[in-house]
Amino acid sequence: MTMAGHDRTGLRKVRIYGVLLALLGIMMFPFYTMVASTFKPEQEIFSTPATLVPDEFTAEAYLTVWTQTDVLLWVGNSFLISISTVVLTLLLAIPAAYSCARNEFVGKRTFLLSVLVVQMFAPVVLIVGLFDVMVSLRLYNTYLAVIIPAAAFTLPFNIWMLYGYFKTIPLELEESARIGGASQFQILWKIILPLAKPALVASITYTFLYAWNRLLFVLTFLTDDAKFNIPRGVFSMVGALQADWRMMLTVSVIGIVPILILFAFLEEYIVAGMTSGAVKE
């Protein structure tokens, strides 16, 4: 790079931006089609070939889904399911991760590796066994039937990520507290967790997204449409013989707004979490 002249550097920049913008255009195109379609009047959405820019803008579709579908309820359920999953996962992951980061004990390695294997056992392959369990525990068609599996499949990632982060917190900080008579639980709550905030934010974001996005558990374990989350709600609109594309896309747009907000604020934590959970450097 140092040897390259101004012209070559300039050309390189053009090439890099060119490629990035082209790829970004391709990646953004599906969003564009989704959003653009929701602002078209009903007859224009069914024109052949499709118009790239709506001839006429209208927000009518948003009013219609507001009054004619359960979109608000679905968004609410998504929040309920996601937040509960986050709480349950953290309650289980924090103590386990802390214990492994701070103690040497027989079986620790086995525990951590088994947890890693759980991450490989995908929900779909377990769905038949889980279905049987949910029915016999009478959890079928309750929110718990969705929250419990979601927590189980996000737990491995959370344990590993928090374990890695807890290890980087200096031991001296705890020792002075221990001399002051604090219990291990108090140390965890008052010293470790505040210091581990970046890792916790990454954990929470990952788990929240996982629970928000998943269709499988809701599709299998919830029959009552008042309990549907956003993906399930959208899916229920696909099911009809003549799909109402305009309504379906509008509900989809509403369903991804919370995620876009999450991304705008927490991008760094999401990236940190994604990279530290899957790949060791």
Partner 1 sequence: MTSVNQEYNEQTTDTRIEWLRTEVLANYTAYLLITPAIVFLLSVVAYPILETFRLSLYQSPTNSPVETFVGLDHYVAIFQSDIFYQLLWQTGRWVVASVTLKTVLGLLIAVHLNQQIAGRKFFRTAFLIPWGIPYAISAVVFRWIQHPQYGYLNAILLETGLISSPIGILGNTSTAWFGAVLADVWIGTPFMAIIFLAGLQSIPDDLYEAAAIDGAEWWHQFRYITVPQLKSVILIATLLSTIWTFVSFDVIWTMTRGGPMNSSATLVIWIYRVAFDQGSLGEAAAFSVIGFAFLLVFAILYLRLYTRGGESL
Closest distance between partner 1 and the C-beta of residue 102, in Å? Answer: 8
| Other CB atoms within 10 Å distance of the CB of residue 163 | 20
* Binding span for partner 1 by CB under 8 A among 60-68, 79-87, 193-201, 244-252: 244-252
Among 10, 11, 46, 72, binds partner 1 (CB under 8 A): 46
Among 82, 203, 248, 250, binds partner 1 (CB under 8 A): 248
Give, as ranges, the residues between 53 and 82 that touch partner 1 (CB under 8 A): none
* Binding span for partner 1 by CB under 8 A among 48-56, 58-66, 67-75, 190-198: 48-56
130 belongs to the binding site for partner 1 (CB under 8 A):
yes
The length of the chain, given as a count of residues: 281
Among 28, 72, 171, 173, binds partner 1 (CB under 8 A): 28
Task: Give Cβ neighbours of residue 269 (< 8 Å, ≥ 6 apart).
Answer: 198, 201, 202, 205
Give, as ranges, the residues between 107 and 126 that touch partner 1 (CB under 8 A): 108-109, 111-118, 120-126
Give, as ranges, the residues between 133 and 192 that touch partner 1 (CB under 8 A): 133, 148-149, 151-152, 155, 159, 184
- The alpha carbon dihedral of 10, 16, 19, 24 has a sign of negative
- CA 215 to mean position of chain CA atoms: 12
d(CA 183, CA 195): 17
* Binding span for partner 1 by CB under 8 A among 63-71, 169-177, 191-199, 241-249: 241-249
255 belongs to the binding site for partner 1 (CB under 8 A):
yes
Give, as ranges, the residues between 83 and 112 that touch partner 1 (CB under 8 A): 91-93, 95-96, 98-100, 102-105, 108-109, 111-112
Give, as ranges, the residues between 5 and 24 that touch partner 1 (CB under 8 A): 13, 16-17, 19-20, 23-24
d(CA 206, CA 119): 14
Closest distance between partner 1 and the C-beta of residue 31, in Å? Answer: 8
What separation in angstroms does the CA of 263 have from each of 49, 208, 212, 268? 34, 12, 13, 9
Amino acid at position 122, single letter? A
* Binding span for partner 1 by CB under 8 A among 53-61, 66-74, 193-201, 216-224: 216-224
Among 129, 170, 180, 181, binds partner 1 (CB under 8 A): 129
Decide whether 96 or 195 has the Cβ nearer to partner 1.
96
Among 7, 43, 52, 242, binds partner 1 (CB under 8 A): 52
* Binding span for partner 1 by CB under 8 A among 47-55, 58-66, 168-176, 192-200: 47-55
